[in-house]
Structure 1
């Protein structure tokens, strides 16, 4: 893919509308997470983590603490403290399911699973309706687009992390030889 300068590129009305739509979804999803936080009587970061743990288990891919840390954007130490809080509150458990017993996975408790299910049943009707109204072709196109957007954002995040490691005192902005 060609390098595009996002500041000087000309954007069509449709491209701008897509970016606004993605932003609106992200903001609205964040609001849903805040409602889950209130529903479960948890801090926002804990509710976000619990949601990730529940969804991963439902997908048949329970998270390790390290994978949870990457998904929620916290350090491993902060994630450990968060998991400890969720465990003490009776929402998650650490399980050793692999044959060598070294790999830890996170599973929601029956109570957390049931309560998050009640939340979804109460809050998810409109989203379920929108998904059910989506044709298979629309879903394929959206998934392809979201996969490309996720890959692009992931590449940008990797570049920003590498830049921060190379120059820890620098702000997260690019530098070239003429601006140093």
Structure 2
């Protein structure tokens, strides 16, 4: 990936438009999380966490509390409190599924899955329609682009976290 100074680069109109659309998608998706929270009677943070648990479980890769903490950007202690809240509310359960009985995974309850499915039946129609009307070539190009953007953002986040914790950084202040 080329090392480009974002402050001195002359950006093309399409590049700027893409960044604006990515921001708009992030904002709209966050609003959906807020609506899910209202739908299920929980905070947006809890709804986001439950969504992460549901998506991981659906992908066949249930989350550990530590992995959930990394995905939602919370400390392990704060995530433990959050998981306790979700468990008390009947939305998730902790499981010891592997041969290492110390390893805990999180699973959504049947009630949480049913409530999420009811929400998606109402809220997911437009997104499902937009995906279905997309040409497979367009989707593959979007996947490649989003993978590059995610890799770039992850590298920036890693560099910033190292800087915050006193590690070395190659970035210079402007």
1:81 match: 81
How far the C-alpha of 1:55 sits from its partner, in A, is 1.0
The aligned residue for residue 41 of structure 1 is 41
Segments of structure 1 that go 5 or more residues without pairing to the other structure are 168-173
TM-score for the superposition, normalised by structure 1: 0.92
Q: Which residue of 2 aligns with 1:58?
A: 58
Tell me the CA shift for residue 175 of structure 1: 4.5
1:138 CA drift (Å): 0.8
2:67 is equivalent to residue 72 of structure 1 = no
The 5-angstrom pairing of residues 5-154 of structure 1 reads 5-154=5-154
Give me the CA root mean square deviation: 1.2
Q: So what's the TM-score if we normalise by structure 2?
A: 0.95
Deviation of residue 136 (structure 1)? 1.3
CA apart distance, 1:2:
2.3
Q: C-alpha displacement at 1:70, in angstroms?
A: 0.7
Which digits, 9 at most, give the CA deviation of each residue in 1:71-108, with x for residues without a partner?
A: 10000000000000000000000000001222110000
d(CA) in 2 for partners of 1:131 and 1:120?
A: 14
Q: Work out the number of aligned pairs and report it.
A: 171
5+ long unaligned stretches in structure 2: none
Deviations 1:47-72 (A, max 9, x none): 10001101111111111101100110
